[in-house]
Amino acid sequence: MEIFSLQFFIALANIVFVDLLLAGDNAIVIGMAARNLDPQQQKKAIILGTGGAVLIRIVATIIVVKLLQIPWLLLIGGLLLLWIAFKLLVDHKEDDEHVKAGSSLMAAVWTIILADAAMGLDNVIAVAGAAQGHTLLVTIGLLISVPIVVWGSTIFIKVIERYPWIIYAGSAVLAFNAAKMITEEAKIHHYFVESPVLKWTFIVVIVALVIGGGKLVKGLQHKRQEQNA
């Protein structure tokens, strides 16, 4: 992939979208970690905490990108990403009220960094899959998306609540990336290279199964809630 080509920017947009989609809870945690500080200190804590979170996320994702080059790990990463895509549709997300607010600037910064690192595994796997092995894409994508998550998360969450189809579109993007990762696993890649029809049929079926399965489970969850109400 050539740097700053159309393919590069499409992959970059993919990374930013995926990270924004999965990072709503992280942003809530960041806000809660700084809630006991005065407004001026809150801004400093969020800026410093976000900076630390970005650095850790970039390093962790680059490590995962490198690990995915080990035989069979691309397949395993693809399967994990499929689970993340499915979980995105069926999980009920709640505010993490158990997160301890920092009583000082550095305590809040440390809490933000640790909380983001603990909650960021899904993002790391998803971004590594979307990066197609390019560390520059990871770096630029996260430098763009993580600050947006911190400053614009509440807006993004409201947009998702207003337009629920965005979740399905996001899940489809994740499932597509996961299926693509599986087809690019070195140990089985030759099967898909020899038959592009098989490759794209596999990808379409995987995406359809994730969306269909997620919708089915979501429907069952709603029925159970109605019965319990």
Q: What is the pLDDT of residues 39-64, one digit of tens each?
A: 778 778 878 887 887 888 888 888 98
1 part of a folded domain? no
Higher confidence at residue 210 or residue 110? 210
Residue 183 has a pLDDT of: 94
213 vs 132: which has the higher pLDDT: 213
Alpha helices in the chain (DSSP H): 6-22, 24-33, 39-67, 73-90, 105-119, 121-130, 135-162, 165-183, 189-194, 196-228
Q: What is d(CA 46, CA 33) in angstroms, rounded to the nearest whole number?
A: 9
Q: What is the largest CA-CA distance in the chain?
A: 62
Give a yes or no: residue 77 inside a domain: yes
Q: Which amino acid is at 91?
A: D
In a domain, 218, yes or no: yes
Lowest mean pLDDT among 4-13, 44-53, 108-117, 180-189: 108-117
**Residue 24 falls inside a structural domain:** yes
Structural domain tally of the chain?
Answer: 1
pLDDT in tens, 27-43: 666 666 666 777 778 77
Average pLDDT over residues 143-167: 72
Is residue 192 predicted with pLDDT exceeding 80? yes
Residues contacting residue 113 through CB under 8 Å, at least 6 positions apart: 49, 52, 53, 56
With 70 as the cut, is the pLDDT of residue 138 above it?
yes
Report, as an integer, the average pLDDT of 58-79.
Answer: 89
Higher pLDDT, 132 or 94: 132
Highest mean pLDDT among 149-153, 188-192, 206-210: 206-210
Cβ–Cβ under 8 Å, residues 45 and 102: yes
User: DSSP secondary structure string, 183-218?
Assistant: HT-TTTHHHHHH-HHHHHHHHHHHHHHHHHHHHHHH
